[in-house]
C-alpha cells in the first residue's frame, strides 16, 4: 500500500484482491446509477400521471362502453391508452380501420 492509500499489487494474490475490489466498486456504482434512473422515472411518472398533455390539469377516467377513457374537463381533451381505440365501436368504420392498420404496419417496421 502506498502513502496515498492506493493499493499497488506486488503479487498475483494482491492483484486478484485489487481487481475484486474494483469490480465490487463498479457493481455498486452501476446499482446507484440504476436506482437514480428508477427514482427519476418514478418522480416523472408521479408528476405527470393522469395529467392532461395539453393543459396539464388533472384528468378523470370516464367509462365509455368497455373502455376507461381519460377526460380533461378543463380543455375537453379525450385520451386513450394503448389498445383502447381498438376496443371502441369507432374502429369498425372502414376509414378508421384502415388508419389503424397503417399504424400497425409502422409499429411492426419502425424507422431506423
Ligand atoms: Zn386539458
pLDDT digits (tens, 9 = 90+) for 24-55: 999 999 999 899 899 998 999 999 999 999 99
**Ligand 1 centroid to residue 109 C-alpha, Å:** 32
Q: Exposed/middle/buried for 80, CB within 10 Å: 0-12, 13-18, 19+? A: middle
Q: For the chain, give the percent of residues with pLDDT over 70.
A: 75
Per-residue pLDDT of 84-96, as tens digits, reads 888 886 666 777 6
In the structure, what pLDDT confidence band is assigned to residue 1 with cuts at 50, 70 and 90? very low
**Contact criterion met (CB below 8 Å) for 74 and 55:** yes
The cell for 35 is: 436506482
Which residues are CB-neighbours of 65 under 8 A, at least 6 positions away? 87, 88, 89
The cell for 90 is: 369507432
In the structure, what pLDDT confidence band is assigned to residue 7 with cuts at 50, 70 and 90? low
The cell for 30 is: 452501476
**Ligand 1 centroid to residue 63 C-alpha, Å:** 18
**Ligand 1 centroid to residue 20 C-alpha, Å:** 54
Amino acid at each position: 500500500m502506498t502513502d496515498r492509500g492506493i493499493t499497488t499489487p506486488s503479487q498475483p494474490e494482491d492483484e486478484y484482491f485489487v481487481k475484486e475490489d474494483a469490480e465490487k466498486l463498479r457493481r455498486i456504482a452501476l446499482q446507484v446509477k440504476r436506482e437514480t434512473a428508477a427514482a427519476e422515472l418514478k418522480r416523472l411518472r408521479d408528476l405527470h400521471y393522469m395529467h392532461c398533455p395539453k393543459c396539464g390539469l388533472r384528468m378523470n377516467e370516464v367509462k365509455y362502453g368497455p373502455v376507461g377513457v381519460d377526460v380533461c374537463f378543463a380543455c375537453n381533451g379525450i385520451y386513450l391508452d394503448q389498445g383502447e381505440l381498438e376496443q371502441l365501436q369507432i374502429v369498425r368504420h372502414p376509414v378508421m380501420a384502415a388508419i389503424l392498420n397503417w399504424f400497425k404496419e409502422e409499429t411492426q417496421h419502425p424507422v431506423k
